[in-house]
Homo-oligomer: A and B are copies of this chain.
Amino acid sequence: MLAMMLFSGCKQSNETGAAASSSRPEYALVIHGGAGTIRREDMSPEKEAAYTAALNQALDIGEEVLRNGGSAMDAVEAVIVFLEDTPLFNAGKGAVFTNDGRNELDASFMNGATREAGAVAGVTIVKNPIRLARKVMENSVHVMMAGKGAELFAKEQGLDTVPPEYFFTQERWDGLQRAIDRENKSTGALDPAHNDSKFGTVGCVALDKSGNIAAGTSTGGMTNKRYGRVGDAPIIGAGTYADNATCGVSATGHGEFFIRYTVARDIAALMEYKGLSLNEAADMVVNKKLVEAGGEGGVIALDRNGNVAMPFNSAGMYRGYAKPGKREVGIYKE
- Which of B121, B225, B262 makes the CB contact (< 8 A) with A265? B262
A230 close to B (CB within 8 Å): yes
Q: Are B149 and A228 in contact (CB under 8 A)?
A: yes
Q: Are B146 and A121 in contact (CB under 8 A)?
A: yes
A261 close to B (CB within 8 Å): yes
CA distance A256 to B293 in the complex (A): 29
Q: Are B273 and A142 in contact (CB under 8 A)?
A: no
Stretch at the interface among A165-173, A197-205, A235-243: A235-243
Secondary structure dominating the interface of A: mixed
A40 close to B (CB within 8 Å): no
A116 close to B (CB within 8 Å): yes
A330 close to B (CB within 8 Å): no
CA distance A259 to B110 in the complex (A): 11
Q: Are A261 and B227 in contact (CB under 8 A)?
A: no
In chain A between 256 and 275, which residues have their CB closer than 8 angstroms to a CB of chain B? 256, 259-262, 265-266, 269-270, 272-274
Hey, which chain B residues are within 8 Å of A35, CB to CB?
none
Interface flags, A29-54, vs B, CB<8A=1, else 0:
00000000000000000000000000
Interface flags, A53-81, vs B, CB<8A=1, else 0:
00000000000000000000000000000
A3 close to B (CB within 8 Å): no
